[in-house]
Amino acid sequence: MIMKSSELREKSLDELNEALADELKKQFKLRMQLATGQLTETHLVKLARRNAAKIKTVLNQKAGE
């Protein structure tokens, strides 16, 4: 699922940190599936990486405020 930056900006810091942890877990699982040849939808790896980057960007923006 694609996360929108506007939705992320509305979340609190705790919610963002939780979402980041979930996204990193998902990314790890996808990488392991890719390495073992079990993953058929390889685009999900890229999507998870981008979602994690979006969350980190919003966290950094909120830290600067």
Per-residue pLDDT reduced to its tens digit, 1-52:
788 999 999 999 999 999 999 999 999 999 999 999 999 999 999 999 999 9
- Global confidence as pTM: 0.90
DSSP code string of 9-40? HTS-HHHHHHHHHHHHHHHHHHHHHHHHT--S
Amino acid (one-letter) located at 23 = E
Q: What domains, with CATH codes, occur in the chain?
A: 13-64 (1.10.287.310)
Look up residue 11 and give its two tokens: 């979340």
Planar angle of CA 17, 22, 28, nearest 5 degrees: 125
Residue 52 · residue 24 · CB < 8 Å: yes
